[in-house]
Chains A and B, each alone.
Chain A
Amino acid sequence: MIRMTLAAAALAAWAGGAQAQAPLVAEGCIGCHGPNGAGAGGVPALAGRDRAELVALMAAFRANERPATIMGRVARGYTEAEIAAAADHFARLPR
């Protein structure tokens, strides 16, 4: 009985934790990339993309090593830790 309660509690804590980990920094992305990073029109989806790919893309945008319409200007506003947190979040979402 108690073990079951603990299991349920652990699950609840995990669920709550996962939700808390959806970083506020990722909210800035969805204004163009769509709710849940699902993409919108000509703006590509972020959800379900490989985490390392997203981090590498943002690093390339930051360094002006990749042609950009607006993402160069965007990427230079974020720290590496923020980019990693947002990439973690979107990589975990279903494609």
Chain B
Amino acid sequence: MTLSRRALLGAAAILATPSLSRAQGQARLLVVGGGFGGASAAAFARRRYPELAVTLVEPKTRFVTCPYGNLVIGGVRQMGDITHGYDGLRAKGVRVVHDWATGIDAAAKRVRLQGGETLEYDRLILSPGIALRWGAIEGYDEAAAERLPHAWVPGDGAQTLLLRRQLEEMPDGGVVGLAIPGNPFRCPPGPYERISMIAGYLKRHKPRSKILALDAKDAFSKQGLFQDGWNALYPGMIEWVPANRDGRVTRVDAAERVLETEFGTRHKVEVANVIPPQSAARIAIEAGLTDQSGWVPVNPVTFESRAAPGIHVVGDANIPGPMPKSGYIANSTAKQAVASAVASLRGEAPPQALYYNTCYSHVGEDYGISIVGIFRPNAEGTAIVEVPNSGGVSPRGDLPEQRRLEATYADSWYESITKDMFA
């Protein structure tokens, strides 16, 4: 025996330091919400920190993604292609509880479930998604959405399929109207990809039809690229009306399918897709995590709620600074949040943060465009900033090979990120 007892104890101490054992057992990470933020967090936590006990609370047994939902609406993908289950996470050792989280007790570190169970945690990752602000557009409530679908919170997929069915039932020569919200909202390029996919369907099956896109903004994500693509693929079919030309929809008449704008213009359409203004999901509001904007302010390094440190809020519910409310950002920030939560439990500083985003959009089936963004906290850790001279949108111009490749890369992104979350 050449090593002293002290050296041995020292080695044991070094090994013990990074462990996550608690007096009563494993450290407990609770994840609420099984979408892009929550499923990414749970999968990553089990992969990187196998010593952690991970529980995921999600009411639905099947998750329908928002990404690629526009391709289902356009008829080039099926609902089954965008629906995922939680067996992969179970196989990774995540305890998956299908129930609604109804309340958070931040002081006691407990989450109450509708079914009666109460879950205790050491750290909470909250990824609750968004709520639609019913009534923000006069006349647009849950009943109206059964006639004028939003198809923006997919739920079980019914809203997506309702919009699809209405397009199928519309006669050739009809007008499809869209109401598009102001910033911030889930998936900034999403409405414009939707316009593109609807236009593709109409061009193939109902070529005399038109799309009237009424927007509460004067500019939108990847605007030049989208409009180039619309001119190339769907000339004359799409009219986009910005806010400064009376594009903001303030009232709807669901029975008559009328979209009424700020200055009183009434647009009667055959199919109406109303994407209303949004906020963080209800549980975040009820837990007191949101500010007057309706979204959750977070620490740019750890993604802990400003109102309740110890609760890391990821996904579309938070205020992400210059980053978009996108699936990729939810995935990227969820991993930083988990790593920060573990560092905190170990008494360590959070890891250096870097957030990564690529959003692909389909303009046509073989015509893809993208925006890339790489972001970091500033030196003070007080704000998130985009890395200068990086990222940006696809080049403009007549570039068919670029467009074709980006459409295939979009498919690769969908396959990769959903495997990362659910495989």
Contacts and interface: CB of A to CB of B under 8 A. Distances in A.
A28 B419 contact: no
A77 B408 CA distance: 23
Scoring A3, A16, A70 by chain B CB atoms within 10 A of each residue's CB, the highest score goes to: A70
Contacts of B354: 24-25, 28, 78, 82
B57 to A, nearest CB: 24
Contact of B409 (A20, A34, A69): A69
Given A22-B48, A27-B332, A82-B354, A69 B415 contact: no
Contacts of A93: none
B193 to A, nearest CB: 17
Contacts of A94: none
Nearest to B12: A9
A76 interface: yes
Given A24-B351, A42-B405, A70 B394 contact: yes
B417 A31 contact: yes
Contacts of A3: 1
Given A2-B1, A12-B15, A70-B370, A34 B387 contact: no
Contact of B412 (A5, A28, A42): A42
Contact of A77 (B387, B413, B423): B387
Nearest to A39: B412
Contacts of B409: 32, 41-43, 69-70
B405 A30 contact: no
A74 interface: yes
B416 interface: yes
Contact of B3 (A6, A24, A31): A6
A58 to B, nearest CB: 12
Interface in A1-56: 2-3, 5-6, 9, 12-13, 16, 19-20, 22, 24-25, 27-28, 30-35, 40-43
Contacts of A16: 15, 18
A76 B336 contact: no
Nearest to B335: A27
A9 to B, nearest CB: 6
A73 interface: yes
Interface string A51-73: 00000000000000000011001
A41 B392 contact: no
Contacts of A20: 18
Contact of B391 (A12, A25, A77, A82): A77
Contacts of B391: 73-74, 76-77
A69 B358 CA distance: 12
A14 to B, nearest CB: 11
A13 B15 CA distance: 7
Interface string B370-399: 101110000000000001011110100000
Contact of B48 (A6, A13, A19, A73): A19
B331 interface: yes
A9 B412 contact: no
A2 B3 contact: yes
B356 interface: yes
Contacts of B419: 34-35, 40
Contacts of B417: 31-32
B200 to A, nearest CB: 21
A73 B415 CA distance: 22
Contacts of A42: 405, 408-409, 411-412
B209 interface: no
Contacts of B151: none
A50 B48 CA distance: 24
Contacts of B232: none
B14 interface: yes
Interface of A: 2-3, 5-6, 9, 12-13, 16, 19-20, 22, 24-25, 27-28, 30-35, 40-43, 69-70, 73-78, 82
Given A69-B409, A77-B387, 9 more contacts: A9-B12, A25-B354, A30-B416, A30-B420, A42-B405, A43-B409, A70-B372, A73-B372, A76-B390
Interface of B: 1, 3, 8, 11-12, 14-15, 18, 44, 48, 328, 331-332, 335-336, 339, 351-356, 358, 370, 372-374, 387, 389-392, 394, 402, 405-406, 408-409, 411-413, 415-417, 419-420, 423
27 contacts: A2-B1, A6-B8, A6-B11, A13-B14, A16-B18, A24-B335, A27-B332, A27-B356, A28-B355, A28-B374, A30-B416, A32-B412, A32-B417, A34-B412, A35-B419, A40-B413, A40-B416, A40-B419, A41-B411, A43-B416, A69-B409, A70-B406, A73-B391, A74-B372, A77-B374, A77-B391, A78-B354
Q: Top 4 A-B pairs ranked by shortest CB distance?
A: A77-B374, A28-B356, A77-B390, A76-B390
